[in-house]
Structure 1
Amino acid sequence: MTDGSRIGSLIDEVLRGTPVFDGHNDLPVALRAHNGGSVEGLAEGRPDLHTDLPRLRAGGVGAQFWSVYVSSGLPEPEAAVATLEQIDAVYRLAARYPDALRIAYTAAEVESAFAEGRIASLLGVEGGHSLAESPGVLRSYARLGVRYVTLTHNDNTSWADSATDEPAVGGLNATGRAIVAELNRAGVLVDLSHVAESTQRAALAVSTAPVLFSHSSARALNDHPRNVSDGVLELLRDNGGVIQLTFVPYFVSAEVADWSRALQEERARLGLPATPWTWPRAPRPGEDPERVAEEYARALAAGAVDPVRGWLDAHPRPEVTVAQVADHVEHAREVAGVDHIGLGGDYDGVDHQPVGLADVSGYPALLRELAGRGWSRPELEALTGRNVLRVLRAAEDQAPDPLWPTTPLR
Structure 2
Amino acid sequence: MRMKMLIYKEASISGPWIHWFICTLLSLLHGVISETSRALDIMTKYPLIDGHNDLALRLRIQYNNKLSLVNPQNIPNVATDITRLTAGHVGGQVFAAYVLCTAQDKDAVRLTLEQIDVIRRMCTENPELELVTSAEGMRNSKKIACLISVEGGHSIDSSLPALRMFYQLGVRSMALTHTCNTPWAESSSRFYPYYQWKKNSLTEFGKAVVHEMNRLGMLIDLSHTSWETAREVLKHSRAPVIFSHSSAYAICNNTRNVPDDMLLLLKENGGLIMINFYNSYVACSKEADVSIVADHFDHIKLVIGAESIGIGADFDGGHGFPKGLEDVSKYSALIGELMSRNWSEEELARVLRLNFLGVFLKVEKVRDDMSNTLPSEVEIPFLEANNSCRVILTHPFIKAESSYQNRNSPLLPVTSLAWLISLVVQFI
TM-score of the two chains, using structure 2 as the length reference: 0.76
Distance 1:38 1:368 in 2: 37
1:153 and 2:178 are equivalent in the alignment: yes
Q: Is the 8 A contact 1:249 1:354 kept in 2?
A: yes
Distance 2:371 2:41 in 1: 38
CA distances 1:335-355 after superposition (whole Å, capped 9, x unpaired): 121110000111111012111
- Give unmatched runs, 5+ long, in structure 2: 1-26, 191-195, 374-428
Higher RCO, 1 vs 2 (CA within 8 Å, ≥6 residues apart): 1
Q: Is the 8 A contact 2:287 2:320 kept in 1?
A: no
CA distances 1:327-371 after superposition (whole Å, capped 9, x unpaired): 111111111211100001111110121111111111111111101
Distance 1:42 1:15 in 2: 26
1:11 and 2:36 are equivalent in the alignment: no
- Give unmatched runs, 5+ long, in structure 1: 257-317, 404-410
Please list every run of at least 4 consecutive aligned residues from structure 1 whose deviation after the TM superposition is greater than 4 angstroms.
none
Q: Is the 8 A contact 1:156 1:168 kept in 2?
A: no
- Aligned residue for 1:142, secondary structure, equals helix
* 1:42–1:382 distance in 2 versus 1, CA, 3 Å: farther
- Aligned residue for 2:331, secondary structure, equals helix
Q: Is the 8 A contact 1:185 1:402 kept in 2?
A: no
Within the candidate set 45, 56, 78, 1:49 is matched to 78
Distance 1:203 1:62 in 2: 30
Distance 2:371 2:64 in 1: 37
1:214 and 2:239 are equivalent in the alignment: no
* CA shift for structure 1 position 77: 5.0
1:319 and 2:287 are equivalent in the alignment: yes
1:126 and 2:151 are equivalent in the alignment: yes
**Sequence identity of aligned pairs in percent?**
39
Within the candidate set 130, 139, 146, 2:164 is matched to 139
1:64 and 2:32 are equivalent in the alignment: no
Counterpart in 1 of 2:226? 196
* 1:321-340 alignment runs, 5 A limit: 321-340=289-308
Q: Is the 8 A contact 2:273 2:310 kept in 1?
A: yes
Q: Is the 8 A contact 2:56 2:95 kept in 1?
A: yes
Q: Is the 8 A contact 1:66 1:121 kept in 2?
A: yes
Distance 2:104 2:215 in 1: 27
Counterpart in 1 of 2:390? none
Distance 1:172 1:96 in 2: 39
CA distances 1:84-143 after superposition (whole Å, capped 9, x unpaired): 10000011101221x210000111101221xx2x10000111011111111100111111
Distance 1:185 1:70 in 2: 25
* CA shift for structure 1 position 167: 4.6
The code of the aligned residue for 1:75 comes to Q
Q: Is the 8 A contact 2:36 2:333 kept in 1?
A: no
* 1:60–1:67 distance in 2 versus 1, CA, 3 Å: same
* CA shift for structure 1 position 144: 1.2
Within the candidate set 256, 266, 281, 1:251 is matched to 281
Q: Is the 8 A contact 1:158 1:169 kept in 2?
A: no
TM-score of the two chains, using structure 1 as the length reference: 0.80
1:229 and 2:254 are equivalent in the alignment: no
* 1:168–1:147 distance in 2 versus 1, CA, 3 Å: farther
The code of the aligned residue for 2:229 comes to T
Within the candidate set 119, 125, 129, 1:96 is matched to 125
Counterpart in 2 of 1:362? 330
Within the candidate set 342, 352, 361, 1:374 is matched to 342
CA distances 1:227-269 after superposition (whole Å, capped 9, x unpaired): 1000000000010000000001111112x1xxxxxxxxxxxxx
Aligned residues: 337
- Aligned residue for 1:141, secondary structure, equals helix
Distance 1:369 1:81 in 2: 43
Within the candidate set 173, 178, 186, 2:216 is matched to 186
1:391 and 2:359 are equivalent in the alignment: yes
Distance 2:308 2:96 in 1: 21
Counterpart in 2 of 1:34? 62
The code of the aligned residue for 2:156 comes to L
Within the candidate set 197, 200, 215, 1:170 is matched to 200
The code of the aligned residue for 1:251 comes to Y
Q: Is the 8 A contact 1:218 1:331 kept in 2?
A: yes
Structure number with bigger Rg: 2
Of 69-78 and 157-166, more deviation after overlay is shown by 69-78
Distance 2:149 2:168 in 1: 13
